[in-house]
Amino acid sequence: MVIIMNRLLAIASMAAGLSLAMWAAAEEPGVSKPGSAVHFRDSTDETPKAAKKAAVAPAAQGGVRMELGQRYAVAETRRGALGYTTAPNIDVAQPRADVLLVTMTGMCAVAGLPCENSQAEIDFDLTQSFRIIDDRSNPRPIRLVLEAQLAGLFRGNRDGAGVAVSAPADATITSGGAAIGHVGFAERSHTGKDILLVSERSAPVEVIIGPGDYNLCQKFAIRCSHPKKCFHKNVAMAVFGDAGKMPEWMNLLDPSRDLPKGRELGFRVAIRIEPIALPAPKIPDARPVSFESESK
């Protein structure tokens, strides 16, 4: 009798998992399909002309500015079984002529099925070329400052079978094929039922450069996986962006989740250029003056 009951439970579990997988594949109209292109947003083109002039004015007074050139940006999503990814985003913004901001955001999650491994991942890759121009009458060296920030959340499941990973986040400035500045963060992985918040900020990297052509190469990836396992209400996720509207199967498996909602999530890189001020002339040391009579 016990054997029969165990077999019936196994069959019911497999049927529930299969129906849930079919349900997951049938819905998710707003989720990017595997291999789809990135949802790219160029904030530099959305600023009104008047605002652009107001923003550029402070940088123009300094005499140095950046002009964006060619760009290559791709974010590929891959998922299988009970895997879920939001539409990835790469946001390129230039609030001032001497500042460049690039932010990569996305979220992926998986749940267990008894008959198939589940996986979901997003790979980001961007190369942005830019030219540094010096409008000063007496050009001098320029200081380039490179900074990065990584913010997100990992959430595991009850039995610890699922794994959430953030691959190494790297940003490099190159000139003529040679790297002149680099910032990045190491890989992180998380298992178990705990919630892990990630908030890292790199130390500023300063480089003395001159006018010319440069490239920003930025890469980042997040991945989640879950092995074959009997049907449980378990979800593992890596949240480095807005989760958006969750699919119904995820609401069923993880109805009590608490996900952060903020604009600071993701992998953000900031580039800033500023002119190097000339050192002030050295004032000679004061010397005592003699007032002796000329008659002597």
DSSP string, 43-102: GGGTS-HHHHHHHHHHHHHHTEEEEEEEEEEEEEEEEESSEEEPPPEEEEE-SSTTEEEE
**pLDDT band for position 76 (50/70/90)?**
very high
Q: Are 124 and 32 in contact (CB under 8 A)?
A: no
Q: Among 53-67, 127-141, 181-195, 257-271, which stretch is predicted with the lowest mean pLDDT?
A: 53-67
- Span 265-281, pLDDT tens digits: 999 999 999 988 766 66
Q: Are 211 and 163 in contact (CB under 8 A)?
A: no
Residue 289, pLDDT score: 61
Domain boundaries defined on the chain: 2-275
Instruction: Give mean pLDDT, residues 129-151.
Output: 91
Q: What is the mean pLDDT of residues 80-95?
A: 92
Q: What is the pLDDT of residues 156-215, one digit of tens each?
A: 776 767 899 999 999 999 999 899 999 999 999 998 778 888 999 999 999 999 999 999
Considering Cα of 130, then 131, then 136, then 141, what sign does the dihedral take?
positive
Tell me the mean pLDDT in the region 83-98. Answer: 93
Burial class (CB in 10 A: 0-12, 13-18, 19+), 121: buried
pLDDT at position 40 over 60: no
pLDDT at 16 over 50: no
Element (H, E) at 105: strand 99-111
Higher pLDDT, 282 or 136: 136
Give residue-wise pLDDT tens across range 41-58: 666 555 444 444 434 444
Distances (CA, A) of 228 to 71, 81, 161, 222: 40, 10, 9, 21
pTM equals: 0.77
Residue 114: which residues within 8 A CB-CB, separation 6 or more? 10, 13, 14, 17, 228, 229, 230, 231
With contact defined as beta carbons under 8 Å apart, do 175 and 208 qualify? no
**Is pLDDT above 70 for 23?**
no
What is the C-alpha to C-alpha distance for residues 72 and 90, in angstroms, rounded to an integer?
A: 11
Residue linked to tokens 């390129």: 92
State residue 160's pLDDT score.
65
The pLDDT-based confidence of 8 (bands split at 50, 70, 90) is very low
| pLDDT tens digits, 202-241 | 999 999 999 999 999 999 999 999 888 765 667 888 999 9
Give the mean pLDDT of 275-291: 68
Question: Average pLDDT of the chain?
Answer: 78
Give the model's pLDDT for residue 236. Answer: 87
* Whether the predicted pLDDT of 245 surpasses 80: no
